[in-house]
Amino acid sequence: MRLASDLRDRDIDAVFKNELDIELKEGHVIILPGILNSGFDFPSIKYAVISDIEPFGSKGKKKSEKKKGKAINVFTDLKAGDFIVHENHGIGQYIGIEKLKIDNTTRDYLHIRYSGNDKLYIPTDQLDMIQKYIGAEDKRPRLNRLGGTEWVKVKAKAKKAIETMAADLLKLYAERQQAKGFAFLEDTRWQKEFEDMFQYQETQDQLRCIEEIKRNMENSRVMDRLLCGDVGYGKTEVALRAAFKCVMDNKQVAILVPTTILAQQHYNTCIQRFANFPINIDVLSRFKTHGEQSRIIQNIKNGNVDIIIGTHRLLQDDLAFRDLGLLIIDEEQRFGVAHKEKIKSLKKNVDVLTMTATPIPRTLHMSLAGIRDISIIEEPPEERYPVQTYVMEYNEEVIREAIAKEIGRGGQVYYLHNRVRSIQKVAAKLKAMMPEARVAVAHGQMEEKILEDTMLDFYNNEYDVLVCTTIIEAGLDIPNVNTIIISDADKMGLSQLYQLRGRVGRSNRLAYAYLTYQKDKVLNEVAEKRLQAIREFTEFGSGFKIAMRDLEIRGTGNLLGREQHGHLEAIGYDLYIKLLEDTVKELKGEEVTEAVDTSIELNISAFIPESYIPDENQKIEIYKKIAYIGSQEDIYDIEEEIEDRFGDLPQVVRNLLDISYIKHLAGQCNIVSIAQKKNNIIVKFNTDKSIKPETAIRVAGEYTDRLLFTASGQPYFTVKADENKPDEYIRFLKEFLEKINSFQNS
């Protein structure tokens, strides 16, 4: 391998191995094939593992940024047995890569199994037609039958539902655009002072979201913006800057939250953050006496309260604002139908900022551009560490040590036991095991007031350990809790485990998650894979990996409604997004061009040899990147990346890159097929309207010795090509297709 050779040239003892079968020695570098986003080290034994991205520094960073928009299409985690969606044939099951020789030409094909044991072999240059199926976790999708009408009907039904939903959203958006609101003034000097007092360094995502919200507020059109970001990613600070801007223009702010405890937490944050400014803040919840509530309501009416925080109590008829300018809603989907209707009436002429911690996929965000204003914080704050995750048999000694270690550093612990029937017994056992620990219990069947009081006491650090059910999944942000122990983790879904683990690690302290299962229990395959996945997906930004995919779908359901969630499951996430994108464009009067999938049949072998890239996952990753080549520059980039990782490119791989680029150019020209018959290549267009007559005349005129154009029926060019000189006719095809593109667009 080239990297090993380069290191040896620099007098570093390096060797490439297919597997770790030799002893590790000091000062020795071993290069192994595999996929790793970032490295890690063990200082105590002076041992480091480095990913192939890291030695190349900013070059790797630059590349990943360039490909960011296409990340959803790169399924490096596709394994034999996984389900896929083909745009034309529907849901099938991926069996593996098979090398087939047809007419003396060798290619790799993806073997897909359909219902009734039907088989489909997809050439690797058509990988852009398939996506990994993303639907409900642990729910096996129904395979479609090849050649039937079932898939066409399912797709048509989903398309119709998407059209109805998108039309409603567009109508709502248009009405909001027409509604006249208040145009806030530009930032004051106090605004800058307030923002400069923020004790942390803002992330680039935070700064962008703040800017988007301020531009909305300074416009006379009513704002209705959704702010998405994981808990602890800094949504609250973004919202508080908007609130400050509103108060500076003598308007009131209402912050609406789903629970009393969250109201109290937001109140504490506001008091602390606005401490140096003459801003009156209050909280309205059932923790206030009847007399206190009456006084607060009167103060809101008189304008003596600038920022009011509360639960659905803010929506009751006895409450009126003197001059409400901004409504901030935290997790709107957690309010009931009646409350949502009340929120709708409150929204009419007021700027609205809705916050949610449910991830909204970037692709959904992009496809809704122009019918929903969304700001997304994807970047974790600096000095935030990934949660250290351990999957293990339940071991009392390890658990005792983990709790003692957390309490010893002044922290708190979640101990998750998801059975109400035995939760008190577990708490009693913990107390006996650790008499010095202050232990509390919280579950959904407790009286609401007792539950809220317990959670509030835990928030105020009056307990060390909270033995609880999954009720904490959407609870408080408590930075002091940095250890979570989950019993019977094998019984929980992947997305649920991901979200529960996300309850810790919200400060600059290293956090720990212990996922335990019963001793001597043999895990079934699904549970084992799930726990293995959660152990692997510890890094930030693994947004498109399995752990996040189910969450993203939940986010889609929350944003678009339950019915859409059903259609999304029926056709898979990626195809749903594509249909949504096209529908939105149509409704906005924009042109939707149907992509042409050009069939390429050239008498040259084009594949990735097993001797070059033996690992099937890596091979699919490279095939997928090659399928998205859109320019000569892309070819150079991918060539460079492949050579960096695997060494000099074999000719058959170079052929693959060229064919992918030819396919891209042909699709842009509306060409349906390029087929070689000995010394002739037939380039056939989709319809007689696919090529302008003047383009055909100009191109044929430039290459009179090589081209013959036939205009009748389906128009086509006959290209003369010496089948013994593939390099020459490949070069000519690229030049010829680039010329057609240029003439068509001039």
Burial of 687 (0-12, 13-18, 19+ CB in 10 A): exposed
Compute, in degrees rounded to 10, the torsion defined by CA atoms 67, 70, 76, 81: -170
Q: Does domain 83-132 have CATH number 2.40.10.170?
A: yes
Give the bridge partners for 597, in sequence order.
Answer: none
Quick one: pLDDT at residue 293? 93
Q: Does domain 599-745 have CATH number 3.50.90.10?
A: no
The pLDDT tens digits for 375-425 are 988 887 877 777 888 888 899 999 999 999 999 999 999 999 999 999 999
What is the helix (H) or strand (E) element at residue 92, kind and residue range?
Answer: strand 90-102
Quick one: pLDDT at residue 361? 64
What is the helix (H) or strand (E) element at residue 215, kind and residue range?
Answer: helix 204-217
pLDDT at 328 over 60: yes
Handedness of CA 247, 271, 474, 386 (dihedral sign): positive
Q: In angstroms, rounded to a whole number, what is the distance separating the alpha carbons of residues 272 and 252?
A: 19
pLDDT at 37 over 80: no
Q: Residue 395 in contact with residue 403, Cβ under 8 Å?
A: no
Quick one: pLDDT at residue 544? 34
Quick one: pLDDT at residue 1? 57
Residue 283, CB-side half-sphere exposure with 13 Å CA sphere:
19
**Entry field: residues in the chain:** 746
Give the pLDDT band of residue 62 (cuts 50, 70, 90): very low
State how far the alpha carbon of 511 is from the alpha carbons of 341, 479, 500, 692, 719, in Å.
40, 10, 13, 64, 64
- Please provide the DSSP assignment of 616-646 as one string: HHHHHHHHHHHHT--SHHHHHHHHHHHHHHH
Closest CA to 575 of 161, 133, 164: 133
Quick one: pLDDT at residue 418? 92
The pLDDT tens digits for 520-579 are 777 766 677 667 766 665 554 443 344 345 545 555 665 666 677 778 778 887 788 888
Closest CA to 345 of 310, 371, 320: 320
Q: In angstroms, rounded to a whole number, what is the distance separating the alpha carbons of residues 710 and 713?
A: 9
Average pLDDT over residues 207-227: 94
Radius of gyration of the chain, Cα coordinates, nearest whole angstrom: 30
Q: In angstroms, rounded to a whole number, what is the distance separating the alpha carbons of residues 606 and 99?
A: 11
Q: In angstroms, rounded to a whole number, what is the distance separating the alpha carbons of residues 27 and 47?
A: 10
pLDDT at 192 over 90: yes
pLDDT at 70 over 60: no
Count of CB atoms within 10 A of residue 289's CB? Answer: 9
Give the pLDDT band of residue 65 (cuts 50, 70, 90): very low
Quick one: pLDDT at residue 69? 30
Q: Does domain 184-377 have CATH number 3.40.50.300?
A: yes
Q: In angstroms, rounded to a whole number, what is the distance separating the alpha carbons of residues 87 and 178?
A: 38
If phi over 0 gives left and psi between -120 and 50 gives alpha, with beta otherwise, what is residue 150?
Answer: alpha
Average pLDDT over residues 144-170: 89
Quick one: pLDDT at residue 358? 66
Q: In angstroms, rounded to a whole number, what is the distance separating the alpha carbons of residues 375 and 378?
A: 10
Structural domain spans, the chain: 2-66, 83-132, 149-178+572-589, 184-377, 388-539, 599-745
pLDDT at 218 over 70: yes
The pLDDT tens digits for 357-378 are 766 666 666 667 677 788 988 8
Strands (E), 135-258: 224-229, 252-256
Place of tokens 């990913």: 51
Contacts of 694-702 with C-beta under 8 Å, sequence gap 24+, read 694/743, 695/740, 695/743, 695/744, 698/743, 699/736, 699/739, 699/740, 699/743, 702/739
pLDDT at 173 over 90: no
pLDDT at 711 over 90: no
State how far the alpha carbon of 482 is from the alpha carbons of 173, 234, 494, 497, 653, in Å.
42, 18, 20, 16, 49
Place of tokens 């956090």: 511
pLDDT at 56 over 60: no
**Beta strand pairing status for 130-132 and 680-685?**
unpaired
Q: Residue 548 in contact with residue 359, Cβ under 8 Å?
A: yes
Average pLDDT over residues 322-336: 85
**Percent helix / strand / coil, the chain, rounded to 5:** 45, 20, 35
Give the pLDDT band of residue 607 (cuts 50, 70, 90): very high
Angle at 215 between CA 214 and CA 219, to 5 degrees: 110
Topology agreement, domain 83-132 and domain 184-377? no
Quick one: pLDDT at residue 40? 64
Q: Residue 591 in contact with residue 585, Cβ under 8 Å?
A: yes
Quick one: pLDDT at residue 32? 80
Choice among 300-309, 325-334, 368-377, 453-462 with the minimum mean pLDDT: 368-377
User: 388-539 has which CATH code?
Assistant: 3.40.50.300
pLDDT at 44 over 80: no
Give the pLDDT band of residue 68 (cuts 50, 70, 90): very low
Burial 114-139 (b: 16+ CB within 10 A, else e): bbeebebebbbbbbbbbbbbbbbbee
* DSSP code for 307: E
238, amino acid identity: V
**Which of 123-137, 252-266, 547-561 has the largest mean confidence?**
252-266
Place of tokens 């206030």: 288
81, amino acid identity: G
pLDDT at 208 over 50: yes
pTM: 0.66
